[in-house]
């Protein structure tokens, strides 16, 4: 199992542990009969590419709205979560792990949730598992 598959497994497993419903479109676990999910994943990634090309303070126009509307209708939600881990090692050997989780409203072109944490060491499966679990727990129990 590669890192992407491990990460995808943690997302799905942690969400089940706290009865938090998700639809994962991550292409790392894609096997047979997943062309539709892969296409939806591609549409969402195109949306992110357009979103990130602009200034953070602006609500730049997103041009693939017909495709986005189809994805929203198919999954019954306009919210998309993007979670990631970035490992950094400086030239002096200092290690950092950056964990982020964002929820975007792809219909209204807005960020509705942000979680960004920096750790003073490299990542581990246990650290990532804990952060993903905490994120889902926080979302489930937020007001």
Each residue's pLDDT tens digit, 109-138: 888 899 998 988 777 778 877 888 888 778
- Tens digits of per-residue pLDDT, 9-63? 555 555 565 555 666 665 545 554 477 777 887 888 888 887 777 665 556 666 6
Collapsed DSSP state (helix, strand, coil) of residue 103: strand
Give pLDDT, residue 3. 44
Q: What is the pLDDT at residue 91? A: 93
- Structural domain harbouring 93: 3-140
Q: Given this model, what pLDDT does residue 16 score? A: 61
Interacting residues of 107 by C-beta distance below 8 A, sequence separation 6+? 68, 69, 72, 78
Total of domains in the chain: 1
Most confident of 33-47, 62-76, 87-101: 87-101
């Amino acid at each position: 199992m590669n890192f992407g598959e491990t990460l995808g497994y943690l997302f799905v497993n942690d969400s089940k542990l706290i009865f938090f419903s998700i639809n994962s479109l991550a292409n790392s676990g894609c096997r047979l009969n997943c062309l539709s999910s892969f296409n939806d994943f591609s549409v969402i990634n195109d949306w992110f590419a357009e979103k990130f090309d602009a200034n953070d303070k602006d609500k730049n126009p997103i041009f693939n709205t017909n495709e986005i509307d189809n994805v929203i209708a198919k999954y019954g939600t306009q919210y998309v979560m993007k979670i990631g881990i970035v490992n950094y090692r400086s030239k002096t050997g200092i290690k950092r792990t950056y964990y982020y989780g964002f929820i975007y409203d792809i219909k209204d072109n807005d960020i509705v949730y942000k979680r960004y944490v920096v750790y003073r060491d490299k990542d581990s499966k246990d650290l990532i598992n804990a952060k993903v679990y905490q994120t889902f727990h926080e979302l489930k129990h937020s007001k």
